[in-house]
Structure 1
Amino acid sequence: MATLLESSSSGVSHEVLDRIDALLDGFRERAQETEDLRKVHPKNIEELEEAGFFKLVQPKQWGGYEADMEVFYTAARNIASACPSTGWCASIVGIHNWHLALFPQQAQEDVWGEDPNVRISSSYAPMGAAKKTDKGLVLNGRWSWSSGCQHATWVFVGGPVLDENDKMIDFCTFLVAGDQYEIDDVWHVAGLKGTGSNDIVVSDALIPSHRVLSFGDMGKGTSPGLERNDNPIYKMPWGTVHPTTISTPIVGMAFGCYDVHREHQRDRVRAAFGTKVKDDPFAKVRLAEAAGDIDAAWLQLMRNVREEQALIEGGGTPDMDLRTRARRDQVRATQRSIDAIGLLFQNSGARALQDTSPIQRFWRDANAGRVHAANEATKAFISYGQNEFGEKVTDSMV
């Protein structure tokens, strides 16, 4: 009998997916050690690199695969089904190779020129700013929640560009070199413990213009990197790509939790009653409810990704109907997955509370991932409603 994860992966194939499948048992075995280290286990990163995961959406000019986005998200989902923290970091750090492809060619040269395996972490929330000066853009700030930063030597940070009068003239992503920032080890948390999502501190860093990318250019599809990197995947809307990168590992956690719960319940005997759980019809109902929500979460997420990419491949551009639907389904995928994990956790018995149980880890980590800004459902739903009523969509994350 196939697991829920296996049954949902039909039709998606890639050599990297096959190599990652062979690594999942090791990720499961090292999940607790990853938590204890408070960062992704170095062996996990090493194996993901050897498997080619970080190359999936990297441009071919730098040795990447330029794989379909569904392949990338499937890989990230599968990793998270084994180790949530590893899957979370893999998804986020992995998508940065897609993002760097939008930067000017010189920025890509700076990062990948000597070593195409270099990794980038991020913190896009505007927790700092760059000021225009005679020498160029001077960046200052403290950015929190840079997942996987210990395994990266560059970082993306987001924020406004200010003129000489402190007036905002643009909102950008800044590419910052490793010798221009410090990592402040502050990651002591209840969930996603192994992501090492520490603070990035930047003080008076001079950022060359070619290491700055306007969100406006990304929104208009005029990013300079598109001149060389012309694969349709690089024309996907940021408002779909980035939020889906956040939801995907949470859906992966739900797949992993379901499969562990199913095996756990098959042989479990309720101590208080002396009865087998699998003989309880309500246990079967709860299993079906959880599986239905998890399947729905993934199917909707990937439907939108496939439709957007197919539209771009045909020479079109995803319209606001499709983009707001993608955001609607993305936040729903997160919530459906967390609800399913909650249902499974509640019905796994007291032994699921033990540190050795992956069920409690999936529950903690999924709820921790829920607080990411990309999972703020209200804003996504308002954008969808605005578009449905013919109003202007005011959220830039679409």
Structure 2
Amino acid sequence: MTAASPTDFAIALNDLIASIPARSAEFEAMRRIPDDVIAQMRSAGIFKMFVPEEHNGLELDLPEIIDAVRRLSCADASVGWTTMIGAGSALFATMLPREAFQSIYGVDENAIIAGSTQLLGVIEQRGGVWHGKGRWPFASGCHHATWMLGFCRLVTEGDEAGPHKVRVVVLPADRWTILDTWHVPGLKGSGSDDIVLNTPLDPEIDIFDIEGTQPWQKGPLYAGVPHMIALLHAAVSLGIAQGALNDLLAIAASGRRQQRAAAPMRDTEAFQRDLGKVHADIRAAEAVLQNQTQSHWQHAQNQTLATDALLVEGSQSAIWVVNQCRRAVDELFALGGSAVMYDSSPLQRRLRDIHMAAQHNLMQPRHFVKSGKLLVETFESAGVH
């Protein structure tokens, strides 16, 4: 089914989720999502969730998008990650000039942008000729991307010693080279290989300065791009944790009895106690994400989202959720015993996936320093002693 409306999207999403789990081993073996699954995701409207309606997108409400990412991640983490990157690329693209967005999504509302915000490229201008080169890791979804981007240092003739100027290169996918580097323990199916650029550039249509740009796309969904990206990461990790819980429950329901145990795991008080505790932890993570999503969405609708304080608040919530889910999956894996040690175990895959997801730079606990600093400054400015 091709999603032409939110109702069609809900039906297509359910169909997609039902078809995914049986193919997870295939995703891992290929180290990417197969083309036919990407085609099904396109047809379902997965990559149009953030695309404005005026560009034939779905422009869903933020809570709906977060929930879709969570559910897809519960079905398979690599599919959820691919959704976060592929759908979220439309959100990021609204930071580009309107003309650039139009050149991408005006032609294909299902366009997918892969790339990296790491400053690992160089744009050089010599004798009136512009050239871009660089290599970026972690370009998730690059194998099915229609466009790619990379952040670069701009070096112009006569200004080599000056301060670095940051520019973004955005080019069709066939202008880039993909290197086979994604040999990792988790999120194997995300196809997050390195991408390489070494090509002449047209400064009028290939190079963009997004520093300090004002959003041109109207609507609450575009009121704070960085604010919403953090919540997408939390949705992926929550989905992984919920999937891991379901995996363990399936093992317990099968009547499995661990060696030398007096009763099946499902009937032992120790298992029930530990399971109940982990379930509470996952429910707490879900509650935090839902609360932060609703808060951000309300602020977006009131046009009050784009503040540093709310960016820090959302990041704080997302980091806590991701790391809470990581700990929960660790505990679920331990409860599974020897049955979950093998590559064929879905719970073993969830363990690998959650640790990869939690390694993302944006989700590192060191960023809690920002919320702590803000808290101290707010307390002191209020004059409360």
Q: TM-score scaled by structure 1?
A: 0.86
**Cα separation, partners in 2 of 1:129 and 1:209, compared to 1, 3 Å:** same
Give, in whole Å, the separation in 1 of the partners of 2:141 and 2:48: 17
Structure 1 counterpart of 2:235, one-letter code: T
The 8 Å contact of residues 223 and 303 in structure 2, kept in 1 or not, is answered as no
Count of aligned positions: 370
TM-superposed deviation, 1:213: 4.5
1:310 equivalenced with 2:298 (yes/no):
yes
The 8 Å contact of residues 63 and 293 in structure 2, kept in 1 or not, is answered as yes
In structure 2, what is the equivalent of residue 5 of structure 1?
none
In structure 1, what is the equivalent of residue 245 of structure 2?
258
Choose which of 374, 385, 393 in structure 1 pairs with 2:372.
385
Instruction: Trace 1:236-275 onto structure 2 (pairs within 5 A).
Output: 236-238=224-226, 240-266=227-253, 267-275=255-263
Give, in whole Å, the separation in 1 of the partners of 2:220 and 2:191: 32
Choose which of 106, 119, 126 in structure 2 pairs with 1:126.
119
Task: Find the residue that maps to 2:54 and give its secondary structure.
Answer: helix
In structure 1, what is the equivalent of residue 77 of structure 2?
84
Q: Please identify, of 38-47 and 242-251, the stretch whose mean Cα deviation from structure 2 is larger.
A: 242-251
1:157 equivalenced with 2:150 (yes/no):
yes
Give, in whole Å, the separation in 1 of the partners of 2:309 and 2:201: 40
Give, in whole Å, the separation in 2 of the partners of 1:315 and 1:186: 42
Kindly report structure 1 stretches of 4+ aligned residues shifted beyond 6 Å. none
- 1:218-257 Cα offsets, whole Å, 9 max, x none, are 5xxx13xx1xx2111111241x222323332122111111
**Runs of 5+ unmatched residues, structure 2:** 1-5, 379-385
The 8 Å contact of residues 247 and 333 in structure 1, kept in 2 or not, is answered as yes
Instruction: Trace 1:33-182 onto structure 2 (pairs within 5 A).
Output: 33-132=26-125, 135=128, 138-164=131-157, 165-166=159-160, 167-182=162-177
- Structure with max Cα Rg: 2
Give, in whole Å, the separation in 1 of the partners of 2:149 and 2:62: 21
Give, in whole Å, the separation in 2 of the partners of 1:383 and 1:134: 44
Give, in whole Å, the separation in 2 of the partners of 1:215 and 1:298: 33
**Cα separation, partners in 2 of 1:21 and 1:305, compared to 1, 3 Å:** same
**Runs of 5+ unmatched residues, structure 1:** 1-12, 392-398
In structure 2, what is the equivalent of residue 203 of structure 1?
198
Structure 2 counterpart of 1:183, one-letter code: I
In structure 1, what is the equivalent of residue 382 of structure 2?
none
Q: Please identify, of 80-89 and 281-290, the stretch whose mean Cα deviation from structure 2 is larger.
A: 281-290
In structure 2, what is the equivalent of residue 336 of structure 1?
324
**Cα separation, partners in 2 of 1:259 and 1:14, compared to 1, 3 Å:** farther
**Cα separation, partners in 2 of 1:14 and 1:274, compared to 1, 3 Å:** farther
In structure 2, what is the equivalent of residue 9 of structure 1?
none
Choose which of 296, 299, 307 in structure 1 pairs with 2:284.
296
Task: Find the residue that maps to 1:102 and give its secondary structure.
Answer: coil
Backbone CA RMSD of aligned residues:
2.1
- 1:248-268 Cα offsets, whole Å, 9 max, x none, are 212211111111211211222
Q: Please identify, of 111-120 and 160-169, the stretch whose mean Cα deviation from structure 2 is larger.
A: 160-169
TM-superposed deviation, 1:373: 0.8
The 8 Å contact of residues 176 and 207 in structure 1, kept in 2 or not, is answered as no
% identity of equivalent residues: 23
Q: TM-score scaled by structure 2?
A: 0.89
